[in-house]
Amino acid sequence: MNKNVLSVVGARPQFVKAGAVSRAFLATPGLTERIVHTGQHFDDNMSEVFFRELDIPKPAHNLGIGGGPQGQMTGRMLEAIEAILIDEKPDMVLVYGDTNSTLAGTLAAAKLHIPVAHVEAGLRSFNRRMPEEINRVMADHLSAMLFCPTSVSVANLASEGIVRNVHHVGDVMYDATVFARDQAQAASSILERLGLEDGAYGLCTVHRAESTDDPVLFAELIQYLERVAADNPIVFPVHPRTRKTLDALGITPKNLILMDPVGYFDIHRLLSGAALVLTDSGGLQKEAYFHGVPCVTLRTETEWVETISSGWNRLWRHEGYATPRTPIDEYGAGDAAQKIVTLIKQQLS
């Protein structure tokens, strides 16, 4: 008997993960996936380009809920997703990561007694000032299936009493990187467009509320980036929230190549040629490692602790990397998505 899974996505990192998992759904008989796009990220270069480049099936529902305070956004998503669940009655709801879309999808399903599966379960920064931390903790404690990228994330769940139906499957972001890496070399001309050469630039992203909402911290981050960029230019695709803060504070960064957010193939081409990555993004920290590029995390902590201990990453206020750099076995062999879909099929059988 065919089983139906409703996947809730809404933000750029979730599209990347959903691309890998949706391909596994399509290759697995007995399961049908339908996608709800909340609209949390809605611009073409923050949303539609990923559906095109990653061959993600067209969403069955596009809610168009983007912008506004977190509580308002999450509440509107919760209301809309609940109506869809009541109408469609899926056998399971699949959520990704730690965004408002994750929380809304989880709450809507849990209140209707529909089992939730959480991809990227067990990550912890142990910083409750981050809205993402609240979202991921809530999702984990309400989920019926928990798909962990690392053994540390499994241990984090165990310390909170969550041990049932917890699976260390590896990282779907690695699956996505394997899919995109070779294609990016052929499909992207971004280095030529920017007049850059491999190894002669850095890549930076800043988007988290904790980075952009504090004017003093944000100014300090920009000054730090300017100092690093004094030796080599830094490409800086600017998130809409970050652009708003730059404009509000009247900051025009020096030595940084500011541009609109870019597509998935373009970002992987930039990653593959970068000498250094600087970011507050959890996903980009790992993608830097997948491309063998050292990273500086623009935060006071990271949920991807193995990138620090293996010497590929460091926090921006800490000098130096752990040595020597070593491979990270935790992330799997590029088959995390298929493991997730196989386990879901077994659970629903």
pLDDT single digits (tens) 49-61? 767 777 788 899 9
Higher pLDDT, 40 or 61: 61
Query: Tokens standing for 139?
Result: 């999702």
* Stated pTM of the model: 0.89
Fold of the 176-315 domain: Rossmann fold (3.40.50)
The token duo for 167 is 């699976």
Q: What is the rounded average pLDDT of the residues 179-183? A: 83
Long-range contacts of 263-267 (CB under 8 A, 24+ apart): 263/45, 263/49, 263/50, 263/53, 263/188, 264/16, 264/49, 264/50, 264/53, 264/54, 264/180, 264/184, 265/53, 265/180, 265/183, 265/184, 265/187, 265/188, 266/184, 266/188, 266/190, 267/237
* 3-171+332-348 shares its CATH topology with 176-315: yes
Task: Report how far apart the first and last C-alpha atoms of the chain are (Å, whole number).
Answer: 8
The stretch 210-225 carries a mean pLDDT of 94
Q: What is the pLDDT of residue 57?
A: 86
Residue type, 196: L
For the residues 153-172, what does the mean pLDDT come to?
98
- For residue 42, what pLDDT band results from cuts at 50, 70 and 90? low
The answer to whether the bond into 149 is cis (omega within 30° of 0) is: no
Q: What is the pLDDT of residue 53?
A: 75
Tokens of 92: 């399971």
**Percent of the chain at pLDDT exceeding 70:** 97
Over 80: is that where the pLDDT of 47 sits? no
Q: Among residues of the chain, what percentage have pLDDT more than 90?
A: 82
Residue 181's pLDDT band, with cuts at 50, 70 and 90, is confident
Q: Where are the domains of the chain?
A: 3-171+332-348, 176-315
Mean pLDDT, range 98-116, rounded to an integer:
97
Checking if the pLDDT of 40 tops 80, the result is no
Cα 237 versus chain centre, distance: 16
pLDDT of residue 54: 74
Rounded to an integer, what distance in angstroms lies between the CA atom of residue 306 and that of residue 339? 22
**Could you read off the pLDDT of 306-349 as tens digits, one per residue?**
999 999 999 999 989 998 999 999 999 999 999 999 999 999 99
Of 207, 239, 268, 291, which residue is the catalytic one?
Answer: 207
Question: What is the average pLDDT across 288-304?
Answer: 96
Which CATH superfamily includes the segment(s) 3-171+332-348?
Answer: Glycogen Phosphorylase B; (3.40.50.2000)
**What's the pLDDT at 344?**
98
From the number of C-beta atoms within 10 Å of its C-beta (0-12, 13-18, 19+), residue 251 rates as: middle
Query: Is residue 128 scored above 60 in pLDDT?
Result: yes
Answer whether 141's CB lies under 8 Å from 133's CB: no
pLDDT at 288: 97
Tell me if residue 141 is catalytic: no
Whole-number pLDDT of residue 66: 80
